[in-house]
Structures are given as structure tokens and as C-alpha cells.
Structure 1
Amino acid sequence: MDAFSDLFRGMRAQGSLFGSSILSPPWALHFVDGAPLTLCTVLGGTGWIVPEHRPPEQLRAGETVIVRGPAPFTFVDEVGTRAEPIACGEHCATPEEGGTRHRRGWNDTCGGSGDGATTLIVGAYLVRGEISRRLLDALPVVLRVDCGGGANAVLDHLAAEVATDTPGQQVVLDRLLDWMLICALREYFDRPTGESPAWYTAQRDPVVGDALRLLHAEPAAPWTVSSLADRTGVSRSTLAKRFADLVGEPPLTYLTRWRMTLAADLLAEREAVTVSEVAHAVGYSDAFAFSAAFKRTRGVSPSEFRRTGTTVPEPAGPTTPLRGRGADGSQVGGVLTARRRPDTARE
């Protein structure tokens, strides 16, 4: 399990509802439900993403924009459009599902066809738990991905799938949106002039990449720097220096923060599990040692975190988007497609 895959696992599209939207100008869709992450892809035509307090971004056919919430944003035919914004998600949010509001579809009056029509696909992602939030925190508010690369193949499949109504369509669309999101994030993190988190770029190093994969695959193992060095085939000093240089903190500091992230999700999601059981699950034989490490890292005790679901804010650390050496510290670090046939909507 590599770090990117591990952090992505709580951001999967699952059990979404789908509709269709063919938009003829003038039009304006106002996304108000505060989804943590929204993926917008234009299959045909053009439009503008207008984030709150951010400059507009034009979106052409085949291009994708990822918007990090919870601030609302608008998708319009042109900046300054005369169209009255249609609220998407305002009356169909479901906060009881995991505590996060997300879209269940919308009905609009923008349907149409012909010259100037735009076909839009939207995926509104829930972010479950602390694990995926580390990935979310590494993203800018607006992430733009031009057409081309691996995303093009996904677009072809999406266009074909949303044009039909066949058994298993929801599962297929869920997976295609996941594929699209991964392609977009890879392209953004791989840009020579862009910014990527230290843990992402470090995965390419033959030594540190192997160490990260081991820590994510076996977080509860009794790791020492020496045992990790043995498994990666280098000396203890080489691993310690190389890991700190590329990731921005020592291997065992990274491991502790990762264990506390896993523990936070266990505490929040499994009420029947005791603190002692959580401690054992993340590699601690002593619940007291685990509680001390959790409070040192998260600012509150495991019991307090379970009761309130919050931790003391931490200073920026290696999860801040950086290339190369990061800052040292102990920071821990559903989906909908918008496709509506004119005057119809489907759940």
C-alpha cells in the first residue's frame, strides 16, 4: 500500500445518484452544499467555475476542475451572466449521513440543446475521517487539469456511460469518477512547476518509497529505524537521513503521526471499540503509552477526541504542499454526476 492509495481510500465514490444536464446559455448553477471536494468535468461546450473569493476559471471540453470545499462556488456560461443562479444541493443535503452534507441530485430549468450547449459532469465527494483529510489538506482551493493524458480515456468511458441507462450503471460511474479524480491528482502532483506534498514526491525514491510503503502496509508492526533499514536494504543512518531529507521528519515521527491518524478514525467510527483495543490495533501494547502519544500528537486525549471529534489545531508540517524537504513537526497530518435530459430527472 503506497501513501497516496492509503490516503485516497476514504474519498471513494460510492452509491451515488445520477442525472443529466445539458445547459444552454444563459445558465448558472450555484453549488451550495459545502462538499469537501467537488470534481467538475465538461464533456462538451464551455463554462466558467467561479469560486468564492477566487478568480474565475474557464473550463473547456475535456477539462476538469477540482474545487476544495466547504465554500460554495458557481458554474456559469460566462462571467457576469444574466442568468439567475439555481441552487444545487440546498434542499437535498443529508447531514445525518456521516455528518457531512452532500448532493442527492437537483432539478434545474437550464435544459436545452443546440449551439452553445454545455454538458457537465459533477462528482461531489465525501471525505470520511482523518486519513483522507491529510490528502485533502495537500490540495489548493481550485485545481485545474487540462485535457490530455490519462484523463482522456476516462472521459471517453464517461461520455459513453452517461448516454445509456443500463444495469450496473451506478457502480460503473462511481469507479469512473474515482479514476478521473486519481488521474487529475496525479497530473497536478507531477507537474514540474507545481507543488506536491513531500510524502508524494518521496515515494519515487527507491529507499524512502519502500520505507513509506512498509509503514503504510504494516503500521502496527514494532518498527525501529534499524528494522526498517534492514527491510529497505540500507544502513540505519542512510535511511534516517534520506527519509528526513525527503519527507521532512524522521521515520518514527512519521509513523507515530500515521498511527494517530488511524487511531482517530477508529475512535470516531467504532464506538464499541475500547481505547485499549484501538491502542493494540495501531501498534501499542500499553494503552497508557498510546494515550500519551495521542495527546502529544493531537492535543487531546483519545476519550476527549471520541467525545468531541476535534483536536487542538496543529502547526503546518510535512503535509503542507512542498517539494523536497518539508518542515519538521508532529502534525497529523458520494458522488453525483450532473446529467439531465431536458425536463426529466432521475434518482
Structure 2
Amino acid sequence: MDVFSDLVRGVRSHGSLFGVSVLRPPWDLRFDGGAPLTLCALLSGAARVVPQDGPPEPVAAGETVVVRGPAPFRLTSEPAADVDPVPWRPGRAEPGSAPPGASTLVVGAYPARGEIGRRLLDALPPVLRVGGGESGDVEDPVLDHLAAEVAVEAPGQQAVLDRLLDWLLVCTLRTWFDRPGGRPPRWWSAQRDPVVGEALRLLHTDPAAPWTVASLAARTGVSRSTLAERFTDRVGEPPVTYLTRWRMTLAADLLLERPEATVAQVARRVGYADPFAFSAAFRRVRGTSPSGFRRAVEGPADAGDPRAPGAPQRGWTSAMGPNPSTSAAST
């Protein structure tokens, strides 16, 4: 499994809040925060995204915007709306064509599950915008499929929309990471190195295996010194250090998702036969013991903090925007 596939599995549309709105200008939608990641695809019309901290950015038909939470932001009609912002809520527009001059907006407010999702979010800017043709195609097949699906109502539609949103998110992030002059995270660029990319794939496919620099070097067909130097140069840290941090990320999620599991059981799942060695590594990486981490996070989660790893996704706005033709529905 490659790094990106492993990280993006922590952010999926199943369980997200979903909405399709047909908006006649002027309109102004307020997203009050709480969602770790919000994807907005503008199928028709024109808009601008207004982050809490930062300048407004125009959004054209066929463009997709991804906003990293939990800070609030707004989407307004273009030119600027002279109306009071109204909270967005999940819902479905009635199937059919948008009237002339209207904007058709598809929104997915994603939960980010645990520490795996958090590592992907940490690699993203507060706002990123990708045009429909940036992948090299004149038409965007993902948006074409999405527009066709929201225009009708058919059995199994919600399952189709879930998968289309996942598809759109993955394609949007890949296009943004690969944009000319961009500064993608180091693990993204490292995946294209034939040696380092293979080493990363091995570590993510079987993180609990007893990997050493020597065993990784043997599997990738280079010497130990070559692998260590090349991996550190491309990724920014040595292979074993990277593996330890990834194991602790997996362990953190296991501690929260499986409260019945003992520390020894979690240790074995991530490649440690000795729970004391695992606890020492966890404390070194996370700054607290496994048990202490579990206790500390259970408090915020019980309080409904959507930013806490494993916490229930609460506090997402649910109110109708202006002039939409919607009926209540959510993923």
C-alpha cells in the first residue's frame, strides 16, 4: 500500500454530511466549523470562498475547493453577495436542471478518523482550489459523473454519491500535490523514487513486520548505506524513525477505537512483542504513555470535541441556506 492510500483511508465520505444546493444569487453560506475537512464542488455558476483568516478566492464552475477545519469559512455568490450569511446545512436539491444564473453546489463535510486522518490534514493548507481541467483533460469526468447523478433520483444513489465524493477528493488532492511549482509533503514526492517509494510501500503494507534497514535494503535491491541515505534525503528522516512514528500513529488509533484492547495487544498489532518497549517508544514519540494517551483523549471526546482523535463528529452546522431547493438528507 502506498503512503497516500494509507492516509486517505482516514478520510472517507461514509459518515460525512452531504448537501446539494441550487442557489440563486445573491447568496452567502456560512460554514460554522467543526468538520475537519470540507469539499465544495461548484457544478455551475460562480462563487468565492472566504476563509476566516486569509483573502477571498474566486471559484469558477467546474472547480473544487477543499477547506481544512475546524475554522469557519463562507461561500458567497460572485459578485459579492449583499445579504446576511446563512448557515449551511446538509440536504438534497430536487432533481432537475438549475435555473439560468443559479449556482449548483455539492458539499461534503468529512469526518477525519483518528490520527491517520490527522496526518493527511496536516499536509494540507487551510484552503486549496483545483480547476476541473488541471488534470490535463478539458472535461472533468468526476464532476461530470457527479452532476449527472445529482440531477436524477435513483435507487442506490447515496452509495454512488459516497463513492463519487471519495473519488473527487482523491483526484483533487492528487492534482493539488502535483501542481507546477507546488510544495507537496516530502512523503508524496518520495513515493516516486524507485527505491524509497518501494521501501515506503513495504512499510505501509506490513508495518508490524520486523523491518530493519538491512531487510528493507535487501527488498529494494540496494545497499544499507544507499537506502539509509536516500530515504533520509527524500523523506526527511531515517527509515526506522519513520516506521516507529507510523506504528505509533496506528497504535494511537487502536487505543481509541478498541477500548477493550490491552496495551500488550495493541503493541503486538503494531509489531512489538514487548509491551514495555512499545510503551517506551510511544512515550518517546507521543510524549505520554499509551494509557495516559487513551485517558487524555477520552475526556475531550466525551465532551464532543470534533477535533479530538476518535471523537464523535458533532457541532457541524445544520441550517438551510438562502434560496435552495432542498429536502433533508445526509450521508
TM-score by length of structure 1 reads: 0.83
CA contact (8 A) 1:22 1:340 kept: no
CA contact (8 A) 1:11 1:125 kept: yes
Distance (Å, rounded) in 2 between the aligned partners of 1:116 and 1:305: 52
Would you say 1:140 and 2:128 are equivalent positions?
Answer: no
Once the 2 structures are TM-superposed, how far is the Cα of residue 201 of structure 1 from its aligned partner?
0.3
Which of 92, 99, 120 is the matching residue for 2:105? 120
Letter in 1 for 2:102: A
Q: Aligned pair in 2 of structure 1 residues 34, 199: CA closer, same or farther (>3 Å)?
A: same
Which of 197, 203, 207 is the matching residue for 2:191? 203
Once the 2 structures are TM-superposed, how far is the Cα of residue 296 of structure 1 from its aligned partner?
0.4
Structure 1: runs of 5 or more not aligned:
90-104, 311-333
**Corresponding pairs, count:** 305
- Superposition pairs of residues 219-234 of structure 1, within 5 angstroms: 219-234=207-222
SS in 2 for 1:21: strand
In structure 2, the residue matched to 1:330 is: none
Once the 2 structures are TM-superposed, how far is the Cα of residue 39 of structure 1 from its aligned partner?
0.7
Distance (Å, rounded) in 1 between the aligned partners of 2:30 and 2:327: 18
Letter in 2 for 1:34: G
- For each residue in 1:70-111, what CA deviation from the matched residue of structure 2 results, as whole angstroms up to 9, or x when unmatched? 11111111364211211125xxxxxxxxxxxxxxx2599xxx
Distance (Å, rounded) in 1 between the aligned partners of 2:210 and 2:322: 53
Would you say 1:183 and 2:171 are equivalent positions?
Answer: yes
Letter in 2 for 1:36: P
In structure 1, the residue matched to 2:24 is: 24
Once the 2 structures are TM-superposed, how far is the Cα of residue 130 of structure 1 from its aligned partner?
0.2
Which of 162, 168, 172 is the matching residue for 2:156? 168
SS in 2 for 1:53: coil
Letter in 2 for 1:136: L
Distance (Å, rounded) in 2 between the aligned partners of 1:263 and 1:344: 42
CA contact (8 A) 2:30 2:86 kept: yes
- For each residue in 1:254-292, what CA deviation from the matched residue of structure 2 results, as whole angstroms up to 9, or x when unmatched? 000000000000001100000000011101010000000
- For each residue in 1:286-312, what CA deviation from the matched residue of structure 2 results, as whole angstroms up to 9, or x when unmatched? 0000000000000000000010129xx
CA contact (8 A) 1:49 1:73 kept: yes
In structure 2, the residue matched to 1:329 is: none
Distance (Å, rounded) in 2 between the aligned partners of 1:107 and 1:68: 23
Once the 2 structures are TM-superposed, how far is the Cα of residue 19 of structure 1 from its aligned partner?
4.7
CA contact (8 A) 2:21 2:91 kept: no
In structure 2, the residue matched to 1:321 is: none
Distance (Å, rounded) in 2 between the aligned partners of 1:174 and 1:125: 11
Distance (Å, rounded) in 2 between the aligned partners of 1:225 and 1:203: 18
- Superposition pairs of residues 228-247 of structure 1, within 5 angstroms: 228-247=216-235
Letter in 2 for 1:64: T
Structure 2: runs of 5 or more not aligned:
299-312
CA contact (8 A) 2:37 2:68 kept: yes
In structure 1, the residue matched to 2:301 is: none
Distance (Å, rounded) in 2 between the aligned partners of 1:113 and 1:155: 15
SS in 1 for 2:66: strand
In structure 2, the residue matched to 1:51 is: 51
**Equivalent pairs: percent with the same residue?**
63
Of 37-46 and 18-27, the range deviating more from structure 2: 18-27
Letter in 1 for 2:211: W
In structure 1, the residue matched to 2:310 is: none
Distance (Å, rounded) in 1 between the aligned partners of 2:276 and 2:212: 20
Distance (Å, rounded) in 2 between the aligned partners of 1:20 and 1:295: 45
Q: Aligned pair in 2 of structure 1 residues 250, 343: CA closer, same or farther (>3 Å)?
A: closer
Q: Aligned pair in 2 of structure 1 residues 307, 210: CA closer, same or farther (>3 Å)?
A: same
Distance (Å, rounded) in 2 between the aligned partners of 1:286 and 1:20: 51
- Superposition pairs of residues 1-347 of structure 1, within 5 angstroms: 1-16=1-16, 18-78=18-78, 80-89=80-89, 105=90, 114-148=99-133, 149=135, 152-309=140-297, 343-347=325-329
Distance (Å, rounded) in 2 between the aligned partners of 1:339 and 1:175: 25
SS in 2 for 1:10: coil
Moved over 3 A (4+): 15-20, 112-115, 338-344
CA contact (8 A) 2:17 2:108 kept: no
